[in-house]
A = this chain, B = another copy of it.
Amino acid sequence: MLILKLGGSVVTHKDKPFTPHIDNITRLAAEIAEADAQPLILVHGGGSYGHPVATEYGIAEGYREPRQITGVSKTHQAMMELNGIIVRELLDAGVPAFAVSPSSFIVTEGRRIIDIDLHVVERLIESGLVPVLYGDAVLDTMQRFAILSGDQLVVKLATGLEVERVVLGSDVDGVFTADPKLVEDARLIEEFSLSNHGDEAKIGDALDTDVTGGMLGKVLEAAEAVEAGIEVVMVNATVDGRVRAALRGENVIGTRLKR
């Protein structure tokens, strides 16, 4: 089983509110169809759909005032709208995608998923469908509501199901030795080894100079899946063919996370 994460910067124009990146979505739907790598689960980020609404109402920080309550719903509505666009493009490309709402079955505890009931996702896969989930506004036992990131969701799905490979698609090639936009001789790290002891400080040191796209957060989040023996590959999903190759298990430009 494979999981493909498509970041918000891939599926939306990040600086234009409520603007899907239709070119990327259509191309990636075709790549996913061509890779024919089922069983597959898709998870996408919020980009210019979820983020502006969530920020306007301060959803990530939890409950402070009553007006936030409708903001939780509006964030979820925005995400469902983006999800609907992606699912329809996948169906048109021949991928039997099926929309799954994280907030309809997941409650977090202090922003973290404590336990997750995967029976619907499992049954969708058994039925030959491709579940499509997303980062979502969810209810939280400690702060009333929270933002569940697509990255956290990916790791919970990967460790809860029999997943061999996770492909994390963003708008950068992977983890660099330094910020490639600032440092001329910044080099892509093709194999990035996590400390055997899961030493977060060490990872932090290594990535301190890499400020592109919150890579540190992504690597730390993915560490749990890597520790569980799951292959994690970070690729640039905005470049033609990379996601298709990664789904097929072919050699591809990107960063492989290793234990």
A139: chain B residues at CB < 8 Å are: 120, 123-124, 127
Give the shortest distance, in Å, between A99 (CB) and chain B (any CB).
6
Cβ of A147 within 8 Å of any chain B Cβ, yes or no, is no
CB pair B99 A77 closer than 8 Å: yes
CA distance A43 to B105 in the complex (A): 17
CA distance A72 to B103 in the complex (A): 21
Cβ of A107 within 8 Å of any chain B Cβ, yes or no, is yes
CA distance A142 to B91 in the complex (A): 25
A51-66 vs B, CB cutoff 8 Å, 1 = contact: the mask equals 0000000000000001
Cβ of A251 within 8 Å of any chain B Cβ, yes or no, is no
A70: chain B residues at CB < 8 Å are: 91, 96
Q: Please report which residues of chain A, range 62-102, place their CB below 8 angstroms from some CB of chain B when the two chains form the complex.
A: 66, 69-70, 72-74, 76-77, 80-81, 84, 87-88, 91, 96-102
Name the CB-closest residue of B to A130. B73
CB pair A107 B127 closer than 8 Å: no
Cβ of A128 within 8 Å of any chain B Cβ, yes or no, is yes
CA distance A126 to B257 in the complex (A): 41
Name the CB-closest residue of B to A128. B69
A197: chain B residues at CB < 8 Å are: none
CB pair B127 A99 closer than 8 Å: no
Of the candidates B91, B96, B107, the one whose C-beta lies within 8 Å of that of A119 is B107
Known: A77-B87, A84-B81. A144 touches B120 (CB 8 A): no
8 contacts between A and B (CB under 8 A): A66-B128, A72-B129, A73-B97, A74-B91, A100-B101, A101-B101, A104-B120, A105-B105
A residues with CB within 8 A of B: 66, 69-70, 72-74, 76-77, 80-81, 84, 87-88, 91, 96-107, 117, 119-120, 123-124, 127-129, 139, 141, 144-145
